[in-house]
Amino acid sequence: MLFFHSSPIRYQRVPEKLFLSFIILLSLIPVSVYPQGSGRASNGTGGNHVIQGYVFFPSGRRAEGSIQIKLQSYTAGEITVLADTSGSFTFTALAPGSYTVVVSAGEGYETASESVFIDNDANLSRSGIPAPSASRRYTVMIHLQPKIGADRARASVLNAALAEVPEAARKRYEKGLELAQSGDTLKAIDNLKAAVSLYPKFPLALTQIRIYANVISP
């Protein structure tokens, strides 16, 4: 039974019917295993492979906010999650097949997409590639692009963040972001490190180095 303190020296017993009603009310409150913004899907497509990714603003900074990530496939329909607070997302338990990652970050950005093909072990073996017994992990990096007319305010914010950065370091930083968007993560890291060596107090570059290092070594 539940008791509560009604005075400094006396206790009052809660009626049993009221206690049971309270328990029933609690049982009706929904509990989500994966809350909004967790970045992790609670269901898959019947396999053991993983597609993970990171969403970046045009400045190169890891995106945050209500960013919707959809994983689409012709055979298994669509799975939707919200990216976590650092712009990361993960889809697990995926079967071999063709998938498209679609990112929607609101009215200020263009919808972005990236295709991922998970080959099955039989095809890999026939191609002479050793088929791993463990799950395979695929990583995608999505760089958001502002819609026309919506990028002026964001550009001013980025310019303010780079205002005190020496030109040589800024050019290295911008080159690193360009290389990352083209998929050359290793050279991107080299350029970002060069930017930091020119300007050690460069938080944007230091953050991107950590992010890209995590991408190549999950």
Residue 118 belongs to a domain: yes
Q: Please report which confidence band the pLDDT of residue 151 belongs to, taking 50, 70 and 90 as the band edges.
A: low
Q: What share of the chain has pLDDT > 90, as a percent?
A: 35
Indicate if 186 and 111 belong to the same structural domain. no
Report the pLDDT value the prediction gives residue 172, as an integer from 0 to 100: 93
Residue 18 belongs to a domain: no
Q: Please report which confidence band the pLDDT of residue 123 belongs to, taking 50, 70 and 90 as the band edges.
A: low
Q: What share of the chain has pLDDT > 70, as a percent?
A: 69
Q: How many domains is the chain partitioned into structurally? A: 2
Q: What totals of helices (H) and strands (E) does the chain contain, helices first?
A: 6, 9
Indicate if 175 and 134 belong to the same structural domain. no
Does the pLDDT value for residue 180 go beyond 90?
no
Report the pLDDT value the prediction gives residue 77, as an integer from 0 to 100: 86
Report the pLDDT value the prediction gives residue 22, as an integer from 0 to 100: 41
Indicate if 115 and 193 belong to the same structural domain. no
Note whether 204 and 61 are within 8 A (CB). Answer: yes
Select the more confidently predicted residue: 127 or 19: 127
Indicate if 102 and 173 belong to the same structural domain. no
- Taking the C-alpha atoms of residue 123 and residue 26, their distance in angstroms, rounded to an integer, is 51
147 to 20, 151, 153: CA distances (angstroms): 55, 7, 12
Indicate if 173 and 137 belong to the same structural domain. no
Indicate if 64 and 139 belong to the same structural domain. yes
- Exposure of 110 by Cβ count < 10 A (0-12 exposed, 13-18 middle, 19+ buried)? middle
Name the residue range of residue 183's domain: 164-216
Q: Please report which confidence band the pLDDT of residue 14 belongs to, taking 50, 70 and 90 as the band edges.
A: very low
Does the pLDDT value for residue 73 go beyond 60?
yes
Q: Please report which confidence band the pLDDT of residue 38 belongs to, taking 50, 70 and 90 as the band edges.
A: confident
Residue 123 belongs to a domain: yes
CATH number where 83 lies: 2.60.40.10
Report the pLDDT value the prediction gives residue 129, as an integer from 0 to 100: 56
* Whole-prediction pTM: 0.57
Q: What is the mean pLDDT of residues 38-50?
A: 90
Indicate if 59 and 97 belong to the same structural domain. yes
Residue 150 belongs to a domain: no
Supply the mean pLDDT for the chain: 77
Does the pLDDT value for residue 149 go beyond 90?
no
Indicate if 131 and 174 belong to the same structural domain. no
